[in-house]
Amino acid sequence: MDLGAVTKHSASHAKPNGLILQYGTAGFRTKAEHLDHVMFRMGLLAVLRSKQTKSTIGVMVTASHNPEEDNGVKLVDPLGEMLAPSWEEHATCLANAEEQDMQRVLIDISKKEAVNLQQDAFIVIGRDTRSSSEKLSQSVIDGVTVLGGQFHDYGLLTTPQLHYMVYCRNTSGRYGKATTEGYYQKLSKAFLELTKQASCSGDEYRSLKVDCANGIGALKLREMEHYFSQGLSVQLFNDGTKGKLNHLCGADFVKSHQKPPQGMEMKSNERCCSFDGDADRIVYYYHDAHGRFHLVDGDKIATLISSFLKELLLEVWWGDWLPCETRLIREIVPVYCTKTGVKHLHHKAQEFDIGVYFEANGHGTALFSTTVEMKIKQLAEELEDKKRKAAKMLESIIDLFNQAAGDAISDMLVIEAILALKGLTVQQWDALYTDLPNRQLKVKVADRRVISTTDAERQAVTPPGLQEAINDLVKKYKLSRAFVRPSGTEDVVRIYAEADSQESADSLAHEVSLAVFQLAGGIGERPQPGWMAGS
């Protein structure tokens, strides 16, 4: 490791004085102009991680649904997963090191993690469409090359595509070919295999309006659409030709404001969806005949997918072989909660033979264990008639899900296939169950770390008295719950409340936000009723 070269190069990627950043739930994220040094340093870190794991590591330059002026970076681990927690700490340490300490920090990390510095390193890099992303990804490359790492720069990619590339490269191509072409072919083939079983091919099921948040999703969907156009035609809105990235559009806007994105022409009962800025989230929605907006979010996506998988599994039913956990699917699909953040959900889902996870904001996928995958492949050959058909469908749906990360394009194709196969309209899907009215608010406090939580962030441990106050407020409303937690991506405290009516949910959320303001050191304006509603 040529540490002299590190010092020389890091001087041209200088850290702004006094800037402290943390590798949070989504990597580093802040104003793009403050990130050059972080990119360079993440290039260095990726090389160490690659040497340690003897695998290809990914670096994605994106700030997802944040405004255009922001940017960010996250590292992708060997199996396409989020970076391991101990390395998140190293990332924070390296990003905040003063220039003169860089060498020491790099040596420390290498020692702690037993990195063999003689080992080769290979890094793949992707970036979103932000104007700052190209230059920032060059800084990543600088970091990689200074430490002697090899790299492949994929250029523009969705975040889940980069996760896919990493996974493919580390599984010797068994998962798929590590090219965008390979990704398009794998997913489209699975989608067409699945949908050819659909009896209803009426127009209603075969066209979809997609709001691409003026981001990378538009470019990639355009490249991909002719691969699957036999089964689905997509009409793209907010494709980046006019509007600003994530501005009044995209999955995050639609979910948090509960209204359609700007620039989308919606007719009543038409099925529409939105991606976020790096295309790892998707939400669906429609206007009913009375012009009322209905959001079909991650919870409903998870329900649609798990009930479909359950049906297929019951059809195939392989009796005695079925493992205990899966056996439960006969009655019910067990549900677990984790802390916020896809990495927590992903790891929980991996504990099962089949794990379906989604955040309400539309980030998620389904994971299948190797045992299940092998068994299904075998059954698809051995079984006959209806059972064989169901096994084949399971085989295709496994291929259609991105096993490395939540993926808007892959999820969209899964959902479209299921709706077509089941002959469901978006309204019928929406009616699978009724959500309790809910409200999300955010409150600014001086230091959001004063709030600590337990029980998958459903109980506040500190500050003293806050949980008791919430409990008392919740008792005033029927069918109610409320949670508070510090955000992992913004300097705010998030409040969630639900109750038997929208009015009650709003009022409970407001009362809880007042309690947070009082007990957790609120700053600025005191929360007003209806204040920041929908934020």
Ligand X SMILES: CC(=O)N[C@H]1[C@@H](OP(=O)(O)O)O[C@H](CO)[C@@H](O)[C@@H]1O
Among 110, 490, 521, 533, binds ligand X (CB under 6 A): 490
Q: Is 524 annotated as a binding residue?
A: no
Rounded to a whole number of angstroms, the minimum distance from the CB of residue 490 to ligand X is: 5
Using the rule CB under 5 A, give the single segment among 72-80, 262-270, 278-286, 393-401 that binds Mg ion: 278-286
CA distance 349 to 370: 13
- Look up residue 346 and give its two tokens: 């992903």
Of the residues 10, 64, 139, 513, which is catalytic?
64
22 interacts with ligand X by CB under 6 A: no
What is the token pair recorded at 148?
């002697």
319 is in an annotated binding site: no
Which two three-digit tokens encode residue 8? Answer: 């020389």
Judged by CB under 6 A, the residue of 361, 396, 453, 504 near ligand X is 361
**Binding of ligand X at residue 69 (CB under 6 A)?**
no
CA 162 to chain centre: 13
Dist. CA 35–CA 26, nearest whole Å: 15
* 131 is an annotated ligand-binding site residue: no
Angle between helices 85-96 and 102-112 (to 10 degrees): 170
> Which DSSP state fits 27?
B
Catalytic annotation present for 64: yes
Q: Is 340 a binder of ligand X (CB under 6 A)?
A: yes
Q: Tokens at residue 33, please? A: 């102009």
342 touches ligand X (CB under 6 A) = yes
Q: Which is nearer to Mg ion, 188 or 489 (CB)?
A: 489
280 interacts with Mg ion by CB under 5 A: yes
Coil vs helix vs strand at 52: helix
88 binds Mg ion (CB under 5 A): no
- CA 504 to chain CA centroid, Å, is 30
How many angstroms separate the Cα of 178 from the Cα of each of 173, 174, 397, 515? 7, 10, 20, 51
278 sits near Mg ion (criterion: CB under 5 A): yes
The only residue of 163, 392, 494, 510 in contact with ligand X, by rule CB under 6 A: 494
Size of the residue set binding Mg ion (CB under 5 A) = 4
Q: Is residue 359 part of an annotated ligand binding site?
A: yes
Cβ nearer to Mg ion, comparing 163 with 206: 163
Helix axes 408-422, 180-195, angle to 10 degrees: 10
Non-local (6+) Cβ contacts of 327 within 8 A are none
Q: Which of 466, 467, 475 is nearest to 504 (CA)?
A: 475
276 part of the interface to Mg ion, by CB under 5 A = yes
Interacting residues of 399 by C-beta distance below 8 A, sequence separation 6+: 186, 187, 189, 190
- The token duo for 201 is 């091919």
Contact positions with Mg ion (CB under 5 A) in 53-82? 64
Identify residues 231-270 at the interface with Mg ion (CB under 5 A).
Answer: none
Task: Choose between 146 and 512: whose C-beta lies nearer to ligand X.
Answer: 512
Binding site, annotated residues for substrate: 359-361, 485-489, 494
Residues of this chain that bind ligand X (CB under 6 A): 25-26, 340-342, 359, 361, 487-490, 494
Active site residues: 64
Binding site, annotated residues for Mg(2+): 64, 276, 278, 280
Residues of this chain that bind Mg ion (CB under 5 A): 64, 276, 278, 280
Binding site, annotated residues: 64, 276, 278, 280, 359-361, 485-489, 494
